[in-house]
Amino acid sequence: MSKIQNAFGGGKAFIAFVTCGDPDLETTKQAVIEAERNGADLIELGIPFSDPTAEGPVIQGANLRALNGGVTTDRVFELVTEIRKTVKIPMVFMTYANVVFSYGAESFIGKCYEVGMDGLILPDLPFEEKGEFDDLCKKYDIDLISLIAPTSANRIAMIAKEATGFIYVVSSLGVTGTRSKIDTDLNSIVKVIRQNTSVPCAIGFGISTPEQAEKFSKVADGVIVGSAIIKILEKYGTEAPKYVGEYVKSMKDAMN
């Protein structure tokens, strides 16, 4: 079993997303430590990219702040080495195919393994084109995380059968960002997933409140929260890690 699936072994998993380097790399490190301390089961680390097409304004802003602060992919790898001295829960990168291509796919994925990452999410990588990355991920024991969206329809079973780590279920059409209401019939999507794989699934895009966390943790094996955490980091800056920890605890408590 992959290390990522261990995150789902103790009940419903809370997955926290942070953009590396927003507002700075030390704050990212402390936010991750506080998230783990307060019940996060898995961490998604966003590698800043200039054109994050899946992201809404909140995470776009975080990407720009990090890039303007001089964050590079190599500095992110150095950050992970530091984080791994303390943090034991699984961690995955969320970034874009161009970041991996420009670094060199094998160099990037090999480095992921070297610094202690467990998985990779590339939201702009179509399922049909994942082969080049998939083989390298298997070589270096990195789970390439599949995404299933409301538009996946008759492709859900096909994607689920080849999934590793966990399946990222996109709750809504559009980009990331907090939503007051999510109307997608996620139960039917998760039902098809469960008919085709034992790999756990987590719902992301739009979840921000404890009430939403409770609701969607009953549908899937976990929930993913990004924009709401980024808003805390934007509001409190270098003082944010404590508040990130409090927020994570409130969400995890709701799920339990």
pLDDT digits (tens, 9 = 90+) for 63-77: 999 999 999 999 999
CA 90 to chain centre: 11
**Residue 248 near residue 36, CB atoms below 8 Å:** no
Query: How confident is the model at residue 182, as a pLDDT?
Result: 54
Instruction: State the pLDDT confidence band at 52, using cuts at 50, 70 and 90.
Output: low
Q: What is the 3-state secondary structure (H, E, C) of 82-138?
A: HHCCCCCCCEEEECCHHHHHHHCHHHHHHHHHHHCCCEEECCCCCHHHCHHHHHHHH
Percent helix, strand, coil in the chain, to 5, is 50, 15, 35
Share of the chain above pLDDT 90, in %: 81
Using DSSP's 3-state secondary structure scheme, residue 46 falls into: strand
Report, as an integer, the average pLDDT of 215-241.
Answer: 96
In the chain, the domains with their CATH numbers are 3-9+13-255 (3.20.20.70)
Confidence category of residue 174, pLDDT binned at 50, 70, 90: very low
Going by C-alpha positions, the residue among 184, 120, 175 that lies closest to residue 156 is 184
Distances (CA, A) of 158 to 135, 137, 195: 18, 19, 11
**pLDDT-based confidence at residue 53 (cuts at 50, 70, 90):** low
The CB-side HSE value for 102 (13 A sphere, CA atoms) comes to 10
- pLDDT the model gives residue 102: 95
> What is the arithmetic mean of pLDDT over 149-158?
89
- pLDDT tens, position by position, 185-204: 899 999 999 999 999 999 99
Count of CB atoms within 10 A of residue 31's CB? 24
- pLDDT confidence band for 153 (50 / 70 / 90): confident
Instruction: Look over the chain and give the mean of its residue pLDDT values, rounded to a whole number.
Output: 92
Residue 178 pLDDT greater than 50, yes or no: no
- Written as six digits, the tokens of 89 are 């829960």
For residues 132-161, give the mean pLDDT.
Answer: 94
**At residue 55, does pLDDT exceed 80?**
no
Whether pLDDT at 42 is above 70: yes
Q: How many Cβ atoms sit within 10 Å of the Cβ of residue 106?
A: 15
pLDDT at 54: 61
pLDDT at residue 141, as a whole number: 97
pLDDT band at residue 150 under the 50/70/90 scheme: confident
d(CA 167, CA 74): 27
Q: What is the pTM of this model?
A: 0.94
Question: With the C-alpha atoms ordered 194, 196, 200, 206, is the resulting torsion angle positive or negative?
Answer: negative
pLDDT in tens, 104-137: 999 999 999 999 999 999 999 989 899 889 999 9
Residue 93's pLDDT band (boundaries 50, 70, 90)? very high
